[in-house]
């Protein structure tokens, strides 16, 4: 049985099933292992762990600890409560109209970020004149129909991850800031900071950035230095604002003070840095890496909410979930009818009932003629019963994402 315990309850003889934090935030090779001695317990406490999941079949138990199912049920209830709140409609054009523009824009953004990081590696200064028109176009696209550009965040290749992650974080931050009803001028500054948030990785060796295995402690320390390098590069870039610096310089800080580089705590972290931390973790844990399997978006959002007890401001995580919907566009879901489909579009007033393109029957194990099902339409008798993993069903997401 898998149970959740406070770190103070951890002792030798237990078996950790899940460290209950982002893989970016711990230096261990694996997320599950036996706790052999007090030294290991002290190490876990020392890196800021608050709670972990243990496997009681492989190690000692804590009788009163809640099971994973009980924790999941509580999180589901929290989400269902706050996603009922209505939000403003998010579209001014149809998804079909915006899709082609979004695909072209996504490709352009990846090329520009790649050039920026290549130039930074050569010691060249960033030219904001090249960034600003791109960001303006991305803001326009998100404002017209965010469900066109956001799902492209799922499409990444291992060797291009650094560039593609920056573009994804930028798009997600625009949507997040819009959901918080920020002004367009502020949103553009946030977007530029997001697009450039990892520019310091230009100073980290490719062998570390693209290593197909967990980093050593020394490599982990070097990787973490990219934040300071980003700050240095951006401080020497004409036209960079404080908001842009906050996004780039604080996206690895954590609300409980366990982040880096400055161990800022609570409201010492700017609103923009707090937003960047949430979005950066979400995109990282939903992305496929050589040594890390990406979570389905719905599972990742639930994890963010669970971690918000310590690492993020809960109200901001809730706002982010409302922005994307509990079943974000591009998610694979199972319907009550047994069919599988990809979420194509959110309904602002009914986040639990999106537009879904169904194409596979989970019970009969065969593909179906693609069909769009609007779960919010009066008279629709189908509904979502769970989120699913593309990998589990052997389905290529690129074939079915709404792009």
> pLDDT by residue (tens digit) across 277-286?
999 999 999 9
CB of 342 closer than 8 Å to CB of 331:
yes
- Average pLDDT in the 141-148 region? 93
Q: Give the whole-angstrom CA distance, residue 398 versus residue 277.
A: 27
* 369 has pLDDT over 90: yes
The answer for residues whose C-beta is within 8 angstroms of residue 102's C-beta and 6 or more apart is: 141, 148, 149, 152, 403
> Considering only CA atoms, which of 156, 137, 159, 157 is closest in space to residue 148?
137
* 26 has pLDDT over 80: no
Pairing of strands 332-335, 15-18: unpaired
Place of tokens 């237990």: 14
Per-residue pLDDT at 87: 57
Q: Average pLDDT, whole number, for the chain? A: 91
* 390 has pLDDT over 60: yes
Question: CB atoms < 10 A from the CB of 38, how many?
Answer: 10
Q: Give the whole-angstrom CA distance, residue 278 versus residue 227.
A: 16
Per-residue pLDDT at 89: 57
Coil/strand/helix, residue 196: coil
Per-residue pLDDT at 71: 95
- Average pLDDT in the 196-211 region? 92
Q: Would you say the C-alpha torsion 71, 340, 104, 180 has a positive or negative sign?
A: negative
Compute the C-alpha angle 4/49/213, nearest 5°.
100
- Average pLDDT in the 144-161 region? 82
- Residue with the bigger pLDDT between 214 and 127: it is 127
Q: Give the whole-angstrom CA distance, residue 369 versus residue 357.
A: 10
Helix, strand, coil percent content, the chain, rounded in steps of 5: 50, 15, 40
Per-residue pLDDT at 14: 97
- In degrees rounded to 5, what are phi and psi of residue 334? -105, 135
> Considering only CA atoms, which of 231, 230, 237 is closest in space to residue 201?
230
- In degrees rounded to 5, what are phi and psi of residue 387? -90, 155
* 28 has pLDDT over 80: no
Compute the C-alpha angle 376/381/386, nearest 5°.
75
* 99 has pLDDT over 80: yes
Whether the link from the prior residue into 261 is cis, omega within 30° of 0, is yes
Q: In this prediction, what percent of the chain has a pLDDT beyond 70?
A: 96
CB of 117 closer than 8 Å to CB of 131:
no
CB of 251 closer than 8 Å to CB of 226:
no
CB of 75 closer than 8 Å to CB of 305:
yes
**Lowest-pLDDT range, 6-20, 203-217, 241-255, 352-366?**
203-217
Q: Give the whole-angstrom CA distance, residue 190 versus residue 245.
A: 9
Q: Give the whole-angstrom CA distance, residue 344 versus residue 387.
A: 14
Per-residue pLDDT at 215: 83
Q: How far apart are the first and last CA of the chain?
A: 41
Compute the C-alpha angle 391/393/398, nearest 5°.
60
* 88 has pLDDT over 60: no
- Average pLDDT in the 314-342 region? 94
CATH superfamily of 95-324: Hypothetical protein af1432 (1.10.3210.10)
296-312: burial string, b at 16+ Cβ within 10 Å, e else? bbbbbbbbbbbbbebbb
Per-residue pLDDT at 190: 98
Pairing of strands 355-361, 339-345: antiparallel
Q: In this prediction, what percent of the chain has a pLDDT beyond 90?
A: 75
Per-residue pLDDT at 90: 64
- Average pLDDT in the 162-181 region? 94
């Amino acid at each position: 049985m898998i149970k959740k315990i406070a770190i103070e309850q951890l002792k030798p003889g237990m078996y950790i099933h899940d460290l209950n934090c982002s893989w970016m935030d711990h230096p261990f090779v694996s997320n599950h292992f036996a706790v052999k001695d007090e030294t290991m317990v002290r190490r876990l406490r020392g890196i800021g762990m608050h709670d972990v999941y243990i496997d009681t079949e492989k190690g000692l138990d804590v009788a009163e600890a809640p099971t994973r199912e009980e924790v999941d049920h509580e999180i589901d209830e929290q989400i269902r409560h706050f996603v009922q709140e209505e939000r403003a409609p998010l579209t001014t054009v149809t998804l079909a109209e915006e899709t082609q523009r979004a695909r072209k824009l996504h490709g352009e953004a990846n090329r520009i970020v790649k050039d920026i990081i290549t130039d930074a590696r050569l010691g060249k200064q960033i030219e904001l004149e090249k960034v600003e028109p791109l960001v303006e176009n991305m803001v326009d696209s998100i404002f017209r129909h965010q469900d066109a550009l956001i799902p492209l965040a799922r499409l990444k290749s291992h060797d291009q991850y650094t560039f593609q992650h920056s573009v994804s974080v930028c798009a997600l931050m625009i949507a997040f800031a819009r959901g918080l009803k920020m002004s367009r001028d502020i949103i553009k500054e946030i977007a530029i900071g997001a697009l450039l948030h990892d520019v310091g990785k230009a100073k980290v060796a490719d062998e570390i950035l693209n290593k197909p295995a967990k980093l050593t402690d020394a490599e982990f320390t070097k990787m973490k230095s990219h934040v300071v390098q980003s700050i240095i590069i951006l401080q020497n870039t004409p036209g960079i604002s404080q908001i842009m610096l906050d996004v780039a310089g604080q996206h690895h800080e954590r609300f409980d003070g366990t982040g880096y580089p400055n161990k800022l705590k609570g409201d010492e972290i700017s609103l923009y840095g707090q937003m960047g931390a949430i979005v950066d973790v979400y995109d990282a844990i939903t992305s496929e890496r050589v040594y890390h399997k990406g979570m389905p978006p719905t599972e990742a959002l639930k994890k963010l909410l669970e971690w918000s007890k310590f690492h993020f401001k809960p109200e901001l995580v809730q706002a982010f979930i409302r922005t994307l919907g509990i079943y974000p566009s591009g998610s694979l879901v199972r319907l009550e009818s047994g069919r599988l489909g990809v979420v194509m579009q959110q309904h602002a007033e009914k986040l639990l009932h999106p537009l879904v393109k169904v194409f596979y029957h989970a019970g009969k194990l065969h593909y179906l003629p693609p069909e769009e099902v609007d779960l919010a339409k009066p008279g629709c008798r189908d509904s979502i019963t769970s989120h699913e993993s593309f990998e589990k069903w052997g389905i290529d997401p690129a074939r079915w994402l709404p792009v």
